[in-house]
Amino acid sequence: MVDIDKEVLDLKSIEKKVYRSFFEDGFWDIFIGMLLLGFGLGWTRIIFDIMEPLYILIISIIWTTITFLIYYLGKKFITLPRIGTVKFGQKRKARQKKLKIFLLINVLFGCIVFILTFFGLLEFLALAGSLTPLLIGLISYTFPFTIVAYFLDFNRLYIYALMGGFTFFISDIIYSILGSPLDSIIGFGVPGGIIVVVGLIFFIKFLRKYPKPKKD
Amino acid sequence: MAYLYVVESADMVFLKNQTELTWGNLSSHISKLEEAGYVNVEKRFKGKKPQTLLHLSEKGRNAFTEYRKKLTQVLGKISQRKI
C-alpha cells in the first residue's frame, strides 16, 4: 500500500518546517541562556550589602522577569510582525496542552522541593563528593528541559538541557579548584553565554531572512 | 494549498515567507483559490494594522486530498512501468 504522506507532497515535513520556522528567531536560545546565566549571579552580592538568601531571591526575581520580558516582547514585536501569524492543527495543540500540564506539575514539584530543602528535610539525600550537584542538575534542569524539547519539537534544546544539567556539577568542581566567585562565573557564565551567543546569531540571521513586510 | 492544508489558518505574511512568492503573485493565487471556494479569506485588524487571515474551506481540503490521491496513483503507475 502507498503511504500518501510520504510519496506525494510530504505534508509532515512541510508542517514541521513551518512549525520550526518559529525557532529561527533565536529567542528560545537567548531565553535558556539567560536563565542559565541567572544561576550564576549570586556572586554579585559582593557589590551590595544584603544578606545572602534575600539577595539571591531578589536577583533571581529581577533576572527571571527581564528574561521573560525579552522573550515575550521579542516574540510579540519582532518575530510575529516579520514571520506572520499561523494557527497550527489539533496535534500541535494537544502537544502544547500536554506541555502546559507537565510544566505545571514541574513547578509544583519544584515548590515542594524548595520548601523541603528550606526546612532541611532533604539533607538525608546528600551524596558524597560532586554527585549531589550532578543529580540536582540532571533532575532540575536536564530532565524538564528534555521533556520541553520533546513537546516543542525543538532539537537544539536537547543539547542545552544537557549543557545546563552539567553546569551544577562543573561549577562544584571549579569551586574546589578556584573557589568563589569564579565557580559561578565560569560554571554558569560560559555555557549560558555560549547559548545566548548562539541565540543572537540565529536572531541576526532571522532579521536578515525576514525583513519587516511593507504590506499585508 | 499544501501550506494551508497542514495548518488551521495563516495570514498573508506567513504564507509569503513560506512560499517565497511576491505579494502580487500570492494575491493572484489566493484570489483564484477564493473564487473556486477552496480558501476562505477573512480581513480584520490586528491593533491598527490590517491582517488577511486565510484557511482552507471544507471543499478546498477535500479537493486537495483528492488531488494528492490522484497524483499518488499516477506516480504509482509510472514507477510500476519502470519496474
pLDDT digits (tens, 9 = 90+) for A141-198: 899 999 999 999 999 999 999 998 898 888 888 888 888 788 888 888 899 999 999 9
| pLDDT value at residue A126 | 67
pLDDT over threshold 80, residue A21? yes
The hierarchical CATH code for the domain B2-82 is 1.10.10.10
| pLDDT value at residue B57 | 93
Q: Does a structural domain hold residue A10?
A: no
Q: Are A144 and A106 in contact (CB under 8 A)?
A: yes
Interface check A9 vs B, CB under 8 A: yes
Q: Does a structural domain hold residue A8?
A: no
Query: Which residues of A are less than 8 Å from B11 in CB distance?
Result: 84-86, 216
Domain range for A139 is 19-209
Q: What separation in angstroms does the CA of A65 have from each of A34, A39, A161, A184, B11?
A: 11, 14, 21, 20, 31
Closest to A184 (Cα-Cα) out of A39, A54, A59: A39
Mean pLDDT of chain A: 85
pLDDT digits (tens, 9 = 90+) for A101-131: 999 998 898 888 878 877 777 776 666 667 8
Q: Does a structural domain hold residue A79?
A: yes
Q: Enumerate residues 150 to 209 of chain A having a beta carbon within 8 A of any beta carbon in chain B.
A: none
pLDDT digits (tens, 9 = 90+) for A25-34: 999 999 999 9
Query: What length is written for chain B?
Result: 83
Q: Are B56 and B1 in contact (CB under 8 A)?
A: yes
Say whether A121 sits in a helix, a strand or coil: coil
Query: Which residues of A are less than 8 Å from B53 in CB distance?
Result: 85
Confidence of residue A8 (pLDDT cuts 50, 70, 90): low
pLDDT over threshold 60, residue A2? no
pLDDT digits (tens, 9 = 90+) for A31-62: 999 998 988 877 677 777 667 677 778 888 89
Mean pLDDT, consecutive 10-residue segments, chain B of 83 residues? 89 90 91 92 86 91 89 78 63
Q: How many folded domains does chain A comprise?
A: 1
Torsion of CA A158, A160, A166, A172, to 10 degrees: -160
Grid cell in block for residue A183: 565557580
Q: Strands B49-56, B7-11: parallel, antiparallel or unpaired by DSSP?
A: antiparallel
Interface check B15 vs A, CB under 8 A: yes
Predicted ipTM of the assembly: 0.80
- Output phi, psi for B53, to 5 deg: -100, 135
Interface check B70 vs A, CB under 8 A: no
For B43, nearest residue in chain A (alpha carbons): A216
Q: Does a structural domain hold residue A202?
A: yes
| pLDDT value at residue A132 | 82
